[in-house]
Amino acid sequence: MLKQYLAEHNISIYRLAKTAGTSYSATNDFVNLKTDVDSVSVGFLKKLASACGLSLDEMYAVCSDKFIINRKLPVRIRIQDGKYFAEYAHNGETYRCYVSKITKSTTKDIKPITEMMVDQQIHEREERKKADALLSHA
C-alpha cells in the first residue's frame, strides 16, 4: 500500500506531490485510496514511481496490493474499483472474495475484517464438506 510505503520512508503526501510534479489533490486522493490504481494514467503513476525511487512495476505492485496478512494461511488483500478483495489458497483451491468498500473505518480495520471473513468462509466450506460426506454415506 502506498500510504504504508510513504510512512516507512518518511515521505509526506505533500513532498511526494511536489517531487513528482503532480497536484496535491490528485496525489492525496490516490494515496488515500479515493482513486484506484487502475483508473490513473500511466504518466501519473510513472511520476509517483520516480519520486519514490521505484520502477513502474514496483509502484503498481505497491499500489495494487494492500498487504498480505501473516498467518498460517497467507491472505492477500487486493484493491480494485474502490473495494477490498481477499485472495487465498486453501486445500489446493484458490479463492477470491469481496471484503468491503474502501472507507476510513474499513481501511483502519481491514486486517481483522478480512481474517474473520476468510475464517468464516473456510469454516462454512468445511462444514458443507462434512455434511456432503455424511449424506453420501447415508
Fold of 2-63: 434 Repressor (Amino-terminal Domain) (1.10.260)
pTM (2 decimals)? 0.54
**Regions of the chain where pLDDT drops below 70:** 65-71, 138
Q: In this predicted structure, what is the pLDDT of residue 71?
A: 60
Q: In this predicted structure, what is the pLDDT of residue 95?
A: 92
Contact present, 48 and 30 (Cβ < 8 Å): yes
Q: Which residue has the cell 466450506?
A: 125
Sign of torsion over alpha carbons 101, 102, 108, 112:
positive
Helix (H, G, I), strand (E, B) or coil at 54: coil
How confident is the prediction for the chain on average, in pLDDT?
Answer: 85
Q: Where in the chain is the domain with CATH 1.10.260.40?
A: 2-63
pLDDT in tens, 79-99: 877 788 998 888 888 999 999
pLDDT in tens, 18-28: 999 999 999 99
Edge to edge, the sheet with strand 75-80 lists 65-69, 75-80, 83-90, 93-101
Contact present, 34 and 63 (Cβ < 8 Å): no
